[in-house]
Amino acid sequence: MDLLTSLKKRPLYRYFVLFVIILLIACLKQFMTLLLLTIIFAYLAMNAGKRVSHFLKLSRSLSIALVYVIFIGVIVFAIDRGANTVIHQFDSMVKLATHINWHANSFLETIYKNFHQYIASVNTSQLISQGLTQLNQVGHVLYELILALLFSFIFSMTYPQLRLWSMNFLHSPYKKFFGEFYIIVHRFIIILGKLFEVQLMICLINTAIMMVVLAFLQFPYLLGFTVMIFILGLIPVFGVIISLIPLTITAFIIGDWNTVIIILVAIAFIHFFESYFLHPHFMSHRTHMPILVILLNLIIMEKMFGVWGLVIGLPILTFLLDFFRIQKFNN
């Protein structure tokens, strides 16, 4: 069945409902981070709660509460370790800058001159203003993270009651519209959740490999760097590359160019392993997309939605292909 035949057979109101949902998302754009975090947290918590309930024979509510206690504990630990790592790395960079012989070779001398010229051209007041803006953004992200945890917890705990109450919409005079609305939103959430679970698995494997490499090199603040690699690993493909910057700087601080080369080789290996084995292996039965399509999709979505585009770009494309019956998504 070709696309035109599929479009003709599908009721027109389904496309109208999708258009309404897109308009609604556009109107709620400023709340997208909060909404997406809430959806992801709730989906993962309810799935984890089912497994905990099955193995520990606990009630649904108690299982979900236990999942959130563990999850919040992990987040607090991650923030603490991550902050300590950043502070110590900054301190190490300052010591390196003050003790290194910048005139030892032409390469270091060029770096010194360029950096000195940049410092001379920087407007101090502008730099302070930018720093305060960045600090405000960090505070806003933490605020949304706390709200998302709270909302997702309430949603997860009261899901049976919410589901029962939402049935009123399906018995209203506009039941056809709300029925299609539910089907579309539910389908997207399922796709988002399933693909996020796959990315989480890929991220855990990448983090474990990189942790072994860092332990072999006797990296300082191993747990902090492990947390950073894990968080960046949630960004498909590009997360591994982004982690290269702090890792190579630290490698240079604690060792020499040989240590930097080992880190570069390890990152290149993990990137190759993720791109050509993990993604095709874990994503193939879900999306059936070539790695080139995934990369192009991530680049386009990042331009459209920023950092969130890297996270939800693949679920959006997968959903659209599934919705228009171009390529069915396998649950």
Write out pLDDT tens, residues 123-170.
666 667 766 776 677 677 788 888 999 999 999 999 999 999 988 988
- Residues contacting 8, CB < 8 A, separation 6+: none
Helices (H), 234-328: 238-242, 244-254, 257-273, 279-283, 291-305, 307-323
DSSP track, 191-224:
HHHHHHHHHHHHHHHHHHHHHHHHHHTT-SSHHH
CA quadruple 121, 123, 128, 133: dihedral sign: negative
The pLDDT-based confidence of 2 (bands split at 50, 70, 90) is very low
Whole-angstrom Cα distance, residue 295 to residue 299?
6
State the average pLDDT for the chain: 79
270 or 135: which leads in pLDDT: 270
The pLDDT-based confidence of 267 (bands split at 50, 70, 90) is confident
- Residues contacting 80, CB < 8 A, separation 6+: none
The pLDDT-based confidence of 46 (bands split at 50, 70, 90) is very high
The pLDDT-based confidence of 20 (bands split at 50, 70, 90) is very high
Q: 56 with 167: CB under 8 angstroms?
A: no
Whole-angstrom Cα distance, residue 200 to residue 307?
17
Whole-angstrom Cα distance, residue 288 to residue 312?
17
Residue in 208, 207, 209, 249 with CA at minimum distance from that of residue 230: 207
The pLDDT-based confidence of 8 (bands split at 50, 70, 90) is very low
Residue 131, pLDDT score? 67
The pLDDT-based confidence of 252 (bands split at 50, 70, 90) is confident
- Which tokens hold the place of 89? 């790395």
- Residue range 278-290: average pLDDT? 70
High-pLDDT (> 90) share of the chain, %: 19
Q: 58 with 66: CB under 8 angstroms?
A: yes
Q: Whose structure tokens read 């203003």? A: 129
Whole-angstrom Cα distance, residue 91 to residue 82?
14
Distance (Å) of CA 191 to CA 49, 71, 202, 281, 310? 19, 22, 17, 17, 15
Residue 73: is its pLDDT beyond 80?
Answer: yes
- Residues contacting 262, CB < 8 A, separation 6+: 213, 217, 251
